[in-house]
Amino acid sequence: MERENKLKTEFAVIGGGPAGLCAAIEAAKYGVEVTIIDENLKPGGQLFKQIHRFFGSEEHLAGVRGFEIGNILISDAQKYGVKVLLNNIAWGLFEDNNIGLCDTNKVSILSCKKVLVATGAIENSIAFPGWTLPNIMGAGAAQTMINVNRVLPGRKVVTVGSGNVGLIVSYQLMQAGAQVECIIEGLPEIGGYQVHASKITRMGVPILTRHTIIKAEGEKFVQKVIISQVDDNWKIIAGTEREINCDLVCIAVGLKPLIELCRMAGMKFEYLAELGGFIPVHNENMQTTIDGAYIAGDITGVEEASTAMEEGKIAGLAVAMELGKIDEKKGESELASAKNRLRALRMGPYGEFRHQAKQNLINSYYKYKNQMGA
């Protein structure tokens, strides 16, 4: 009777996006045997649909486009001998950090000494009548279609949400040849960075604050939406309803971490709306409340690729130190540098807010650890 493949590795990384790749590269640099698991046919996570230039410092590859960073990381991973298991879904994270995997043919159990869960996040949606109609999709989905697959799902677009994702994807849709009719935003001010907002408004796309979407209509797919103004209590202002013909609606209302494996493993959580929802608590070295299990990237709070990369590096270093592969002094010094760079990424009004939220998460970790008597 065929049963499962039994596999072994020292450090298993679930998720080959920027966080996972950086953790793997860092650990492999110090001689840790690393295996990355990714359910896609190519690692890189969300990097490959990022065609805009990144911000930050030179260390953070500022000025480099997301997909180029993806290529650099993949080639580094190869250089350091990281094993990559593609087309494998991690369907379970069990006791002793055993991981259940399966591809189209076979089930495997991967046992490891340390595991990193870097499974990222998924887009939220909002429910309104007609929200399930075809061609009402996540803004990230539209972005994948145009930047990775080079297909345009629609020509007349309405974007819901004016955070950075909504602004950037609208701009990229215009670059791809679509016409964005408007971006609607429920709050009184624009959610994303001014620089992105200016780019899109310069192209003639209005950003309608204090607006909401009432319903979407269409026979087999979306053909028009009804929007209206809302007052300070988010109540619809009668008489402000407007119909907009469109064939694509992009929903950009935030993301939430993909934490199923963490729940299975029994990690402790904290609810932080500002980071996207339920987050597994972790300490400064990205260690969770489960021994030997780490997290990094969007799963620890929705931020950006640059913070994901630094968190990955921190986790990779912590693992290398735990496995005794790096001299303690050197390890501490490298960790300190990584944490400084991470702190630098969280400066400014937007950054401070996130930094504080992350601090709360770390405080919760210690609170749980005390309760657990560790």
Options 177, 204, 239, 373; binder of another protein; rule CB under 8 A: 177
Options 24, 27, 146, 182; binder of another protein; rule CB under 8 A: 146
Burial category of 57 from C-beta neighbours within 10 Å (exposed 0-12, middle 13-18, buried 19 and up): exposed
The Cβ of residue 276 has, within 10 Å, a number of other Cβ atoms equal to 23
Q: Is 221 in the site for another protein (CB under 8 A)?
A: yes
Site size for another protein, by CB under 8 A?
47
In the complex, the smallest distance separating the C-beta of residue 217 from another protein, rounded to whole angstroms, is 13
Q: Is 8 in the site for another protein (CB under 8 A)?
A: no
In the complex, the smallest distance separating the C-beta of residue 129 from another protein, rounded to whole angstroms, is 12
User: What gap in Å lies between CA 330 and CA 137, rounded to an integer?
Assistant: 47
Residue closer to another protein (CB basis): 31 or 92: 92
Options 62, 72, 107, 237; binder of another protein; rule CB under 8 A: 107
Q: Which residues pair with 286 in a beta bridge?
A: none
26 SS3 class: helix
Residue closer to another protein (CB basis): 119 or 229: 119
Q: Which residue type is seen at 38?
A: D
Helix (H) or strand (E) holding 36, with range, is strand 34-37
In the complex, the smallest distance separating the C-beta of residue 313 from another protein, rounded to whole angstroms, is 24
Q: Is 37 in the site for another protein (CB under 8 A)?
A: no
Q: Which residue type is seen at 151?
A: V
User: What gap in Å lies between CA 372 and CA 220, rounded to an integer?
Assistant: 54
**What is 51-97 written as a DSSP string?**
-SBP-S-TTTTTT-BHHHHHHHHHHHHHHTT-EEETT-EEEEE-GGG
Q: Is 289 in the site for another protein (CB under 8 A)?
A: no
Q: Which of 192, 198, 142, 193 is nearest to 172 (CA)?
A: 142
In the complex, the smallest distance separating the C-beta of residue 42 from another protein, rounded to whole angstroms, is 10
Which positions from 108 through 127 interact with another protein, judged by CB under 8 A? 109, 122-123, 125
Q: Is 214 in the site for another protein (CB under 8 A)?
A: no
In the complex, the smallest distance separating the C-beta of residue 306 from another protein, rounded to whole angstroms, is 19
Q: Is 204 in the site for another protein (CB under 8 A)?
A: no
Residue closer to another protein (CB basis): 122 or 226: 122
The stretches of 176-304 forming alpha helices (DSSP H) are 194-202, 260-265
In the complex, the smallest distance separating the C-beta of residue 23 from another protein, rounded to whole angstroms, is 20
Q: Is 92 in the site for another protein (CB under 8 A)?
A: yes
Computed on alpha carbons and rounded to an integer, the radius of gyration of the chain in Å comes to: 22
Q: Is 362 in the site for another protein (CB under 8 A)?
A: no
Options 58, 75, 127, 151; binder of another protein; rule CB under 8 A: 151
Q: Is 176 in the site for another protein (CB under 8 A)?
A: yes
- Interhelix angle 328-345/305-322, rounded to 10 degrees, is 170
Q: Which residue type is seen at 155?
A: R
Helix (H) or strand (E) holding 338, with range, is helix 328-345
Q: Is 202 in the site for another protein (CB under 8 A)?
A: no
Q: Is 166 in the site for another protein (CB under 8 A)?
A: no
Q: Are 146 and 152 in contact (CB under 8 A)?
A: yes
User: What gap in Å lies between CA 279 and CA 267, rounded to an integer?
Assistant: 10
Q: Residues in the site for another protein, rule: CB under 8 A? A: 1-4, 39-41, 46, 51, 65, 92, 94-95, 98, 100, 107, 109, 122-123, 125, 132-138, 140-142, 144-147, 149-153, 155, 175-177, 220-221, 258, 266
